[in-house]
A and B are shown apart, each in its own frame.
Chain A
Amino acid sequence: AQSVTQPDIHITVSEGASLELRCNYSYGATPYLFWYVQSPGQGLQLLLKYFSGDTLVQGIKGFEAEFKRSQSSFNLRKPSVHWSDAAEYFCAAGLSGSARQLTFGSGTQLTVLP
Chain B
Amino acid sequence: DTGVSQDPRHKITKRGQNVTFRCDPISEHNRLYWYRQTLGQGPEFLTYFQNEAQLEKSRLLSDRFSAERPKGSFSTLEIQRTEQGDSAMYLCASSSTLAGANYEQYFGPGTRLTVT
A106 adjacent to B44 (CB under 8 Å): no
Decide yes or no whether A103 CB sits under 8 A from chain B.
Answer: yes
Output the nearest chain A residue to B56 by Cβ-Cβ distance. Answer: A101
For chain B, the bracket of interface size reads 20 to 34
For residue B106, CB closer than 8 A to chain A, the reply is yes
Count contacts on A: residues with CB < 8 A to the other chain. Answer: 25
B103 touches A32 (CB 8 A): yes
Query: Which of B's residues lie within 8 Å of A, judged by CB?
Result: 4, 31, 33, 35, 40-45, 48, 55-56, 58, 91, 93, 95, 97, 102-110
What are 24 A-B contacts defined by CB distance under 8 Å? Answer: A34-B104, A42-B109, A43-B107, A43-B108, A44-B43, A44-B107, A46-B105, A49-B102, A51-B102, A92-B42, A99-B95, A99-B103, A99-B104, A99-B105, A100-B33, A100-B55, A100-B103, A101-B56, A102-B35, A102-B43, A102-B45, A102-B105, A104-B43, A106-B42
